[in-house]
Amino acid sequence: MTSPRPAETVRRPAPSTRVRRLVLRCLAVFVGARLVTSAFLLWLTTRTTSASEAGAHPSFAGISSAWDGAWYRRIALHGYPTTLPLDAHGQVAQNEWAFLPAYPFLVRVVSAVTGTGWEAAAVAVSLLFGGAAAVLLGLLLARRTGDRAALFAVALFCSSPVALVLQTAYADAMMTCLLLGVLVLVDRRRSGWAVPVVLLAAATRPGVLAVALLVVLRCWDRWRERRAEGVAGELALLAASTVGGLAWPVVVGLATGRADAYVRTETAWRSLWTGSTDLLLFQPWFFVAQQLFGLAGVPVLALLAVAFVVLVLRPSRRAGRVVQLWTASYAVYLLAVFMPQTSLPRLLLPMSPALAAAPVPRRRPMIVVVLGASTALQLLWLWCTYGPVKTFLTVP
Task: Compute the distance between CA of residue 267 and CA of residue 262 in angstroms, rounded to an integer.
Answer: 9
| 57 vs 124, residue with greater confidence | 124
pLDDT bracket for residue 7 (50, 70, 90): very low
- Residue 4 in any domain: the answer is no
Task: Compute the distance between CA of residue 168 and CA of residue 130 in angstroms, rounded to an integer.
Answer: 10
- Residue 149 in any domain: the answer is yes
DSSP state of 309: I
What is the tens place of the pLDDT at every residue in 326-381?
A: 999 999 999 999 988 888 899 999 999 999 999 999 999 999 999 999 999 999 99
Q: What is the mean pLDDT of residues 28-37?
A: 98
Q: What is the mean pLDDT of residues 246-250?
A: 97
Q: What share of the chain is helix, strand, coil (3-state, %, to 5)?
A: 70, 0, 30
**34: enclosing H helix or E strand:** helix 15-44
Note the pLDDT of residue 333. Answer: 97
Note the pLDDT of residue 223. Answer: 83
Domain count, the chain: 1
Degrees to nearest 5, angle at CA 245 with 287 and 178: 105
Whole-model pTM above 0.75?
A: yes
Task: State the CB neighbour count (10 A cutoff) for residue 5.
Answer: 6
- Residue 1 in any domain: the answer is no
Q: Residue 53: what residue type?
A: E
Note the pLDDT of residue 343. Answer: 86
- Residue 183 in any domain: the answer is yes
What is the tens place of the pLDDT at every residue in 175-185?
A: 999 999 999 99
Q: What is the mean pLDDT of residues 285-289?
A: 91
- Residue 7 in any domain: the answer is no
- Residue 94 in any domain: the answer is yes
Q: What is the mean pLDDT of residues 265-288?
A: 83
Q: What is the mean pLDDT of residues 51-71?
A: 91
DSSP state of 92: B
What is the tens place of the pLDDT at every residue in 111-134?
A: 999 999 999 999 999 999 999 999
Q: Which domain holds residue 286?
A: 16-394
pLDDT bracket for residue 388 (50, 70, 90): confident
Q: Residue 301: which of 280, 314, 285, 312 has the closest Cα?
A: 285
Note the pLDDT of residue 356. Answer: 92
- Residue 163 in any domain: the answer is yes
- Residue 162 in any domain: the answer is yes
Degrees to nearest 5, angle at CA 96 with 347 and 69: 55
DSSP state of 172: H
The residues, any chain, with a CB within 8 Å of residue 267's CB and separated by 6 or more, are 276, 277, 278, 279
Query: What's the mean per-residue pLDDT of the chain?
Result: 91
